[in-house]
Structure 1
Amino acid sequence: ECQALARLVFYREKTHKIWSKNEPGLPPLVRCHPFLMSVYGPVVKIHPVVLASIGDSYERRNEGASRVIGTLLGTIDKHSVEVTNCFSVPHNESEDEVAVDMEFAKNMYELHKRVSPSEVIIGWYATGFDITEHSVLIHEYYSREATNPIHLTVDTALQSGKMNIRAYVSAQMGVPGKTVGVMFTPLSVRYVYYDTERIGVDLLQRTRVTPSRTKGLTSDLSQVASSASRVQDMLATVLSYIEDVLSGKVTADNSVGRFLMDLVNKVPTISAEDFETMLNSNINDLLMVTYLSNLTQAQIALNEKLVLL
């Protein structure tokens, strides 16, 4: 059910911005239920580090706070908005107004720009399941910091049994020359990751099957053994398929055959003896580097002890 809200008004008190929803004589903002509208606009791509940061800020929230908010950082192109970073912003809410420390938000953004100049403000997030009246008021401020900012809601309370994540964009509506309102329309959300983030996600996934919910990082040798085991399993699957095709048990698929041919052509032609020699040489180089690094660490530790004496 659509709900009329008053347009944003604010004034400065110390370092805070305070918004009131009861200012008379201002045109309304309209918030509509997301399921009443079709999805349109850019695709919102979210990285795992953003969700982890939001969850951490929610767990560290002040006593009595029902939710946390923050600024979303990332990049924008013609078809998508990629959220790569975020930071929380202190705020207080009451029934009629919300106070947000925007001076803190500006300082944090300036610090982030020094580390990642390519990341810009693309919107803001709030924990919770739905858009509230205060959400509409805060979104008005971010509309001045970014062109058509997105609003991300993360259900950290797991009201539906899982962490629902939704993204919205605001759009004007109304009759030209009359009162103009704003409604929020949902966007498509996708989860993407870098290779380094994938390592952390895989580690978190493994904690689900352990009774203590903890899992340590594996050694380099264990990771090599695990990768070699997966490659061996995939090769066994491919060989089984080829044998079934040759025996007539399975009908040959031309597309699979082309993929296998491309795979074979990418493998360099080398004899088993040459491959073993090359592997042993690389292993010896690795062991030598490891030995030298350990020797260097021991020398540094010994030097520190001698300096203290």
Structure 2
Amino acid sequence: MALNISVKVHPVVLFQIVDAYERRNADSHRVIGTLLGTSDKGVVEVTNCFCVPHKEHADQVEAELNYAMDVYDLNRRVNSSESIVGWWATGNEVTNHSSVIHEYYSRECRDPVHVTLDTSLQGGRMGMRAYVCVALGVPRGKQGCMFTPIDVSLTCYEPEIVGLQLCQKTMGPGGRSRQVQPMLDLAQVAEAASKLSSLLDQVLQYVEDVLAERVEPNNAAGRQLLELVNSVPNLSADTFADAFASSVKDLLMVVTLAQLIKTQLQLNEKLTLLTSQ
């Protein structure tokens, strides 16, 4: 099997794993589950997961496989594009029982991946690792397998980025949590513009420091800046201002229509209650 496989995990998967770990039985040392997603051209994208109840003994593993298949069938009815791509486990290492569990998932999908998430926060981080199982042995001899690490990273859809930014705001001073509310669309635009302006100031300051020989130039950063500049459309200031104003008008129209629809639904609900009394 080729090892040129990489794994991309969406944030919702991490949230579900942590939630399953927090809800585990008192006698459970770790939690396992099924990874769902897609696999294409050596890239496994994990978009969903669920927990599989199990018990680990010294010499065997007991897992509720019928429950796992029922949950998978229900998930397929909701999202038919998600298939089994592997399995996950909490902890920071591969255990003696991992090969037994991996053998089951090898029958459910081709080249399953194994993702571990360190929920014990060793080193102050929730370390995430991914593995594939490589067969070992000699022909007509004893066979075995070895878990080999592969590249793993986080990836996000645009709505997920908004959710992550909202989650970051729940962390107050001193690590205390606080309640926050989603911002309105215009407020999000203003905040994004403010952050963009701050980042541009940092980039300009770095370029000025390099030109003044106050900072050692970084070739990788220079190439990224050149790529960034070339990706920006060559528009005049007036053309850009007109396009931005048009986009803002479209946004205001969508917000207004959404508020009108919301008001209409609320009035309809109240009228329905009045006529039913």
Q: Deviations over 1:8-34 (max 9, x none)?
A: xxxxxxxxxxxxxxxxxxxxxxxxxxx
Q: 1:246-270: per-residue Cα shift (whole Å, max 9, x none)?
A: xx968xx997678547635146744
Give the alignment's Cα RMSD to 1 decimal. Answer: 3.3
Task: Determine if contact 1:203/1:215 at 8 Å carries over to the other structure.
Answer: no
Q: CA deviation at 1:220?
A: 2.2
State the one-letter code of the partner of 2:62.
A
The structure-2 alpha-carbon separation of the partners of 1:80 and 1:94, relative to structure 1 and needing over 3 Å to count, comes to: same
Which of 263, 267, 274 pairs up with 1:299? 267
Aligned: 1:44 with 2:7: yes
Secondary structure, in 3 states, of the residue corresponding to 2:122? Answer: coil
The 5 Å alignment of 1:1-309 reads 40-210=3-173, 212-216=176-180, 217-233=182-198, 260=229, 263=232, 265-266=234-235, 269-270=238-239, 282=250, 285-286=253-254, 288-290=256-258, 292-309=260-277
**Unpaired runs of at least 5, structure 2:** 214-218
Shift in Å at residue 60 of structure 1? 0.8
Alpha-carbon distance in structure 2 between the residues aligned to 1:284 and 1:154: 42
Q: Distance in 1 between matches of 2:190 and 2:141?
A: 69
Amino acid at match of 1:82: E
Provide Cα deviations, 1:218-242, integer angstroms capped at 9, x if missing partner: 2223212212323444566678799
Residue 41 of structure 1 deviates from its aligned partner by 3.2
Task: Mark the CA change 1:241 to 1:40 in structure 2 (over 3 Å): closer, same or farther.
Answer: closer
Secondary structure, aligned partner of 1:204: helix
Query: Which amino acid in structure 2 is aligned with residue 123 of structure 1?
Result: G
**SS of alignment partner, residue 265 of structure 1:** coil
Quick one: distance in 1 between partners of 2:179 and 2:33? Answer: 30
Q: SS at 1:193's partner residue?
A: coil
Change (3 A) 1:142 1:249: closer
Change in 2 beyond 3 A, CA 1:189/1:264: closer
Greater shift, 150-159 or 280-289, is seen at 280-289
**Structure 1 gap segments, 5+ residues each:** 1-38
User: RCO (CA 8 Å, sep 6+): is it higher in 1 or 2?
Assistant: 1
Query: What is the TM-score when the length of structure 1 is the normalising length?
Result: 0.73
Could you state the TM-score of these two structures normalised by the residue count of structure 2?
0.80
Classify the secondary structure of the residue corresponding to 1:224.
Answer: helix
Number of aligned positions between the proteins? 265
**Offset of residue 95 of structure 1:** 2.1
CA contact (8 A) 1:40 1:186 kept: no
Contact 2:172 2:178 in 1 (8 A): no
Would the aligned equivalents of 2:91 and 2:116 in 1 still touch at CA under 8 Å?
Answer: yes
What amino acid maps onto 2:68 in structure 1? Answer: A
Measured after TM superposition, the shift of residue 297 of structure 1 is: 3.1
What CA distance in whole angstroms lies between the structure 1 residues aligned with 2:244 and 2:148?
60
